[in-house]
Amino acid sequence: MSTERTYLHAISAGLRQEMERDDRVFLMGEDIGALGGAFKVTDGFAEEFGSDRVRDTPIAEAGIVGAAVGAAIAGLRPVCEMQFGDFVACGFDQLVNVAGKMHYRLGLAVPLTLRLPTGGGFSGGPFHSQNPEAWFMHAPGLRVVAPATVRDAQGLIVSAIRDPNPVIFLEHKNLYRRVKDDVDDGEIFPTPLTARTVRHGSDLTIIAYGAMVHTAERAVAELDADIEILDLRTLVPLDEGAILASVARTGKVLVLDEANYTCAAGAQVASLIADRGFETLDGPVRRLAAPDVPIPFSPPLEQFVLPGDDAVKEAARGLLEY
């Protein structure tokens, strides 16, 4: 039997399964209880699991993350929601300096999951549209995952909760209700922290994650070429083997980021290819990302800033002709 789930419901399903499976799993966040979360990911959870395990918190991200680190060290499995991923900046110190370094300093595991609703495309403006993954890729000790599909959304939230490390779980707001898929009923299995080949091809590899995977798929559907798409799924650890193998097959690569261009996740991917895939390249390593500006509120301006289908098609054509 299978059920159609949205990306958002997949995250809910994964959370529900892990809460039922493991008493140590509990949720914290702003308005996640009675309101069910700003996006309704935890809708009904307070009724089902009680307010001890679905805890509303003050608007204080440093407090949420700090309390979660303490709970994790004490043996619980906290899952925290930042109402918008942008707000994680307030919890930065607890995350980067406390959670990420705990194991290295004291040998203590911090099995903490931090859900960040990220990304733009719906006129959220500069405080509600960011993609902050690169901040955390640069901080040792944190894992960073970014599902693009319904299946991976539910599988990766399960992986994140069971992981002994602090995991940043990037859920793309623009995929919440737009992406739907039939998934099997029954147990949700953890998704391995590896890249996924969306489609095989021999002319060009497009590397993306999160919402950009769908942008790539739409663009490729309109191009008359045999293009491979690699969905990274996890940024830390980065599946270097899959990246290099794909580029070795096609010889050409386009790396997509919805995040700002400089030092984005895709910059790390491009650097890896230049460093270790040089002799397999049959063209320049091309990147497409948002320019280094805050994401505008204005709908036409936002569409201009975010890498869209046409920009991807144009960049892909340039590489195919190269």
Partner 1 sequence: MGSSSTERLIDIVMPAMGTSVSEGTVTTWCKEIGDPIERDENVCEISSDKVDVECPAPAAGVLREILVEVGDTVDVGTALGRIGVADEDAASNEPAEADEAAPASRSEESGAETAAESGSEGATGSNDAPTDEDGNEPHVTPVVRRMADHHNLDLSKIEGTGRNERVTKKDVEAHLRASSDEPGEAQPPLDGESRDRPDPDQAPPPEPVAVAASAPSAAGEPQQLSRMRQSIGRAMLDSLATAATCTTIVECDMSAVEHARSRLGVTALPVVASKVIETLREFGSLNATLDGEMMTVFDDVHLGIAVSLGEEGLVVPVIRDAQDLSIEGLSKTIKKLARAARDKQLGPDDYAGATFTVTSPGAFGALIATPVINLPQVGILDIETITRRPVVVAEANGNESIGIRSMAYFCLSWDHRAIDGAYAAQFLTALRARVESI
Q: How far is the CB of 114 from partner 1 (least distance, A)?
A: 24
- Taking CB under 8 A as the binding criterion, the range among 116-124, 175-183, 206-214, 281-289 that sits at the site for partner 1 is 281-289
Among 276, 293, 294, 301, binds partner 1 (CB under 8 A): 276
Q: CB burial class (10 A; 0-12, 13-18, 19+) of residue 240?
A: middle
- Taking CB under 8 A as the binding criterion, the range among 61-69, 144-152, 170-178, 271-279 that sits at the site for partner 1 is 271-279
Q: Which residue among 9, 128, 172, 214 is the active-site one?
A: 128
Q: How far is the CB of 246 from partner 1 (least distance, A)?
A: 8
CA distance 111 to 26: 12
Single-letter amino acid code for the residue at 3: T
Q: What's phi and psi for 178, nearest 5 deg?
A: -85, -30
279 binds partner 1 (CB under 8 A): yes
Q: Which residues contact 64 (CB under 8 A, 6 or more apart)?
A: 28, 29, 30, 57, 80, 82, 91
Among 67, 73, 244, 311, binds partner 1 (CB under 8 A): 244
317 binds partner 1 (CB under 8 A): no
Q: 311: helix, coil or strand? A: helix
138 catalytic per annotation? no
User: Is 20 in contact with 53 (CB distance < 8 Å)?
Assistant: no
Q: Residue count of the chain, please give it.
A: 322
- Taking CB under 8 A as the binding criterion, the range among 35-43, 90-98, 114-122, 236-244 that sits at the site for partner 1 is 236-244
CA distance 141 to 79: 17
109 binds partner 1 (CB under 8 A): no
66 binds partner 1 (CB under 8 A): no
What DSSP designation does 282 have? S
Residues that bind partner 1 (CB under 8 A): 192, 194, 203, 240-241, 244-246, 248-249, 251, 276-283, 321-322
